[in-house]
Amino acid sequence: MAKKQVSKSTSEVVESSGTTRTTTRTTTTTTTTTTPKLTTSNTDTTLSSILTTFEESYFSSTPQSIVLIDVYLAFVMLTGIIQFLYVVLAGTYPYNSFLAGFICSVGSFVLAVNLRIQAHPANRSTVSMSPERAFADFAFSSVLLFGFCINFVG
């Protein structure tokens, strides 16, 4: 039970900050810090009932492995947000290092979402690919991503 609650809270972070991530990507400056607050507060206040139904539906329908991926997603997103906040505070002097780290987070997030989509049993009808193949793709692209990142950190 306790375990479930942990994943519950994290999954919430995933979804609500799924939007935060996109905004930070599109704007990439200080203005962004205000925008996520706005929208999350909107959804929280008016639509708390929706959130509860969402949680219930999520935990009833999501298999264990997918929840694991979601926890990973939440962690990756957290690293990205921390890096971004730090840049907002400290400035972008070694710009390539910031980009390398931040894009590494974004990239890992995106690749894991790919894996999540491809491995999700509910998507079996639309995705013509075995989960094993999806995982191989994930591994390959992650290796490539990290290679480029390490080359770029400088």
Give me the residues that bind other proteins (CB under 8 A), please: 15, 18-19, 21-23, 25-29, 31-32, 35, 39, 42-43, 47, 50, 53-54, 57-58, 61, 95-96, 99-100, 103, 106-107, 110-111, 113-115, 117-118, 122-123, 126-129, 134, 137-138, 140-141, 144-145, 148-149, 151-152
Coil, strand or helix at 14: helix
CB closer to other proteins out of 9 and 42: 42
CB count within 10 Å of CB 84 equals 21
CB closer to other proteins out of 2 and 59: 59
Q: How far is CA 112 from CA 34, 64, 85, 118, in A?
A: 27, 15, 23, 10
Smallest distance from the beta carbon of 82 to other proteins, in angstroms? 19
Rounded to the nearest 10 degrees, the angle between the axes of helix 95-119 and helix 131-153 is 180
Smallest distance from the beta carbon of 100 to other proteins, in angstroms? 8
Query: Nearest Cα to 38, choosing from 48, 23, 50, 53?
Result: 23
